[in-house]
Amino acid sequence: MMSYAEDLTKFEPITEAHQRSGDRTQEARSELQKIISAHSFKYNPEELFELASGKKSPYYFNMKATMMDPLGAILCARLLFEEIEALHPDYIGGLEMGAVPLVSTVCAISAASTTPISAFFVRKQRKSHGTGLLVEGLKQAETLAGKHVVMIDDVTTTGGSVLKAIQSAREDGAVVKYVLALVDREDGAVENLAEHDLELRSIFTASDFIPKN
């Protein structure tokens, strides 16, 4: 029998007749956890890594290798889409660079579903030429005004990075209530985002990868 991960690569339409069971979702989650562990997770109690927040940590996630791996990319997209689909957003978005591969692949596979979802990303700085937009990816005459948006992040630490994207989206009129991360480092993002009326959900937490003593 074809494994869930192998089946995903066929890009079969996501329909009510082709719903993922809990067992198949767990299999995909297990496959993705293996890829992240092998290619995107570093752990060394004797070497501290500096994080974007300025904190130091004995473990570090660099999700780029996972997001750029063929199987890793599709597994990320499908698992994220399963979570996002239940929230019924009009758009998904995220901050460059980490969220760009994720929103792109989730947007792409959603085209085969009954609920396709458009995507955008937020620049860290305005371009000094062209339109000078912060929010990129919307069609001409499209706006986020009144639209329900789920923001995606690859890894959340304190939530500061994704908050920058959320603030830009909210300034454009978006309604943002949820943040969905591939990995929550469990370093305060849940609490910090809650102060901004945001609920953080994640596919994994750091505890899923840190070796148990």
14-28, 63-77, 93-107, range with the lowest pLDDT: 14-28
pLDDT at 126 over 90: no
**Percent of the residues in the chain that have a pLDDT greater than 90, as a whole number:** 64
Output the pTM of the full model.
0.86
Instruction: Give the residue with greater pLDDT, 38 vs 137.
Output: 38
CB atoms closer than 10 angstroms to residue 136: 14
Tell me whether strands 148-156 and 135-136 are parallel, antiparallel or unpaired.
unpaired
Query: What pLDDT is attached to residue 130?
Result: 54
Query: What pLDDT is attached to residue 14?
Result: 44
Residue 82 to residues 26, 87, 140, 191, 210, Cα–Cα distance (Å): 12, 9, 29, 24, 25
**Residue-wise DSSP of 108-164:** HHHTTBSS--EEEEE-SS--SSTT--SEESPPTT---TT-EEEEEEEEESSSHHHHH
Q: What digits encode the pLDDT tens for the residues 157-197?
A: 999 999 999 999 999 999 999 999 999 999 999 999 999 99
Domain 4-208 has CATH 3.40.50.2020: yes
* Helix, strand or coil, per DSSP, at residue 201: strand
